Structure 1
Amino acid sequence: MKGLDLITFKEPTSPMSESYRTLRTNIQFSSFDKKIKTILITSSGPGEGKTTTSSNLAMVMAQGGNKTILIDCDQRKPQVHKVFGFSNENGLSNILVSDNEVDINIGVHETEEPNLHVLSSGTRPPNPAELLGSAKMKNFIEQLKKTYDFIILDTPPIVLVTDAQILAQYTDGCLLVISSGEAERDSVIKSKGLLEKVNAKILGTVLNKVDSKKKGYYHYQYEYGGTSK
């Protein structure tokens, strides 16, 4: 497993990995009425780190003893298979366009973390939004719930296409990834509005690409995980 951006796999004891574990904990305690099982991750624009966030969150969920599947729902610019070093020949789209009954094992890859499985996006379809909004997609998610503790959907930027809004109806909560110093304020506000428009439950935001060399960052990590005298 290449895991070029998978710091939670390569350096599980690093401060960054601890940040993902904190995110995991926050999600698990975000609702007392209903367990969060299906999580959608999106961003306002491209290059903000949603796939990195999705992949690392899926890894720490699995490392915590939860059977987890990460699904690449970005049919236009899929990246998950590149992060894990898998083929994208068969994946989600191939399952959804098949005339046969849905087989959740088709295209699902095992990883070096026993509790983590990955489903790549598959062959690019001509109609991604319609495919993701189909009854077959809804039924597929329902089937996965019987097998997995957590289902994480990596979706396209919500401002650019409607895919994330469509998929939000299948999920228990959404995370909005924001790139520090790059994301435009208006785009972030618009992204939040688009999720609210479809009654999506916004679990929170993930501030990505923060300058780790800033004094405050190291001070926080030291006080939290270090042994101060």
Structure 2
Amino acid sequence: MKRRQNQAVRDFKERSLITHFNSKSPISEQYRTIRTNIQFSSADTEYRTMMVTSSGPGEGKSTTTANLAVVLAQQGKKVLLIDADLRKPTAHYTFRVSNAQGLTNILTKQMPISEACRGTEVENLSVLPSGPIPPNPAELLGSRMMKEMIQEALNDYDIVLFDTPPVLAVTDAQILANICDGVILVVGSNITEKEAALKSKELLQAAKAKLLGVVLNRKKMKKGQYYYYYGS
């Protein structure tokens, strides 16, 4: 039983972090394409704080965030992935770190960011898990402490990447979108409805977000034995 559980954990990690465990796969190449597109879009502006969100749950935003963080770190940049989904956090599962302490502890002044961040097996990549789930996520994310924490993180990291809740579910993503340099919207092929995607775009723009682009996730296009994820 324990052997099967350990294997299940390994399988989950390899699926969630394909850019680390199988960097030569066609899917990993698409994540590098997303990285390149972001860098082209920032020719005149340096995007150091970016957030990834989606319209609704199950569209792949957390997997996209994790793998984007990996390919940025593989480029030699010091990257901090912050799990800002204070309602349904997942980064601690993906990177197999403790969630006993994290972002919420920093925002409530219980500990400094230097103690809450966790190293990962990916070189140059650290993760800040959400920490205990609070009763007031939106208020914490919009607090003065959040802005101060971001500025402190930028002293130690080249890029800070946020995984946030879906736009249409709660206001959290809009709050963070207003203070991040850029926003990436993930939509799921045959999952996200067109109206939902357009509404998400409108809400982000109303929050004065800089929308860098949209990642189309789970679009299966068979070519030989491979399925490609296309991002644009």
Would you say the 8 A contact 1:173–1:202 is kept in 2? yes
Would you say the 8 A contact 1:179–1:209 is kept in 2? yes
Residues 94/19 of structure 1: CA separation in 2 closer, same or farther (3 Å cut): same
Normalised TM-score (structure 1): 0.90
Q: Alpha-carbon deviation of 1:218?
A: 6.7
The match for 1:25 is 36
Residues 1:153 and 2:174 are matched in the alignment? no
Residues 99/115 of structure 1: CA separation in 2 closer, same or farther (3 Å cut): closer
Question: How do 1:134-173 residues align onto structure 2 when only pairs under 5 Å count?
Answer: 134-173=143-182
**Match for 2:101: what amino acid?**
N
Deviations 1:59-85 (A, max 9, x none): 000001000000000000001111111
The match for 2:58 is 47
Alpha-carbon RMSD across the aligned residues, in angstroms, is 1.9
Q: Secondary structure at the match of 2:186?
A: strand
> What is the percentage of aligned positions where both structures have the same residue?
52
Q: Alpha-carbon deviation of 1:169?
A: 1.8
The match for 1:176 is 185
Would you say the 8 A contact 2:54–2:166 is kept in 1? yes
Deviations 1:163-206 (A, max 9, x none): 00000122110000000001011110000000000110000000
Q: Secondary structure at the match of 1:19?
A: helix
**Match for 2:130: what amino acid?**
S
The match for 2:125 is 116
Q: Secondary structure at the match of 1:39?
A: strand
Q: Which one of 92, 97, 106 corresponds to residue 115 of structure 2?
A: 106
Q: Secondary structure at the match of 1:23?
A: helix
Residues 1:130 and 2:139 are matched in the alignment? yes
- What is the alpha-carbon distance in structure 2 between the residues aligned to residue 84 and residue 166 of structure 1? 26
Residues 1:209 and 2:209 are matched in the alignment? no
Q: Secondary structure at the match of 1:42?
A: strand
The match for 1:77 is 88
Q: Which one of 91, 101, 105 corresponds to residue 94 of structure 1?
A: 105
Q: Alpha-carbon deviation of 1:33?
A: 2.4
Q: Alpha-carbon deviation of 1:106?
A: 2.1
Q: Secondary structure at the match of 2:138?
A: helix
**Match for 2:157: what amino acid?**
Y
Deviations 1:193-222 (A, max 9, x none): 00000110000000001114267x87999x
Residues 1:10 and 2:14 are matched in the alignment? no
The match for 1:226 is none
Would you say the 8 A contact 2:218–2:229 is kept in 1? no
Would you say the 8 A contact 1:141–1:170 is kept in 2? no
**Match for 2:46: what amino acid?**
K
- List alignment gaps of at least 5 residues for structure 2: 1-8
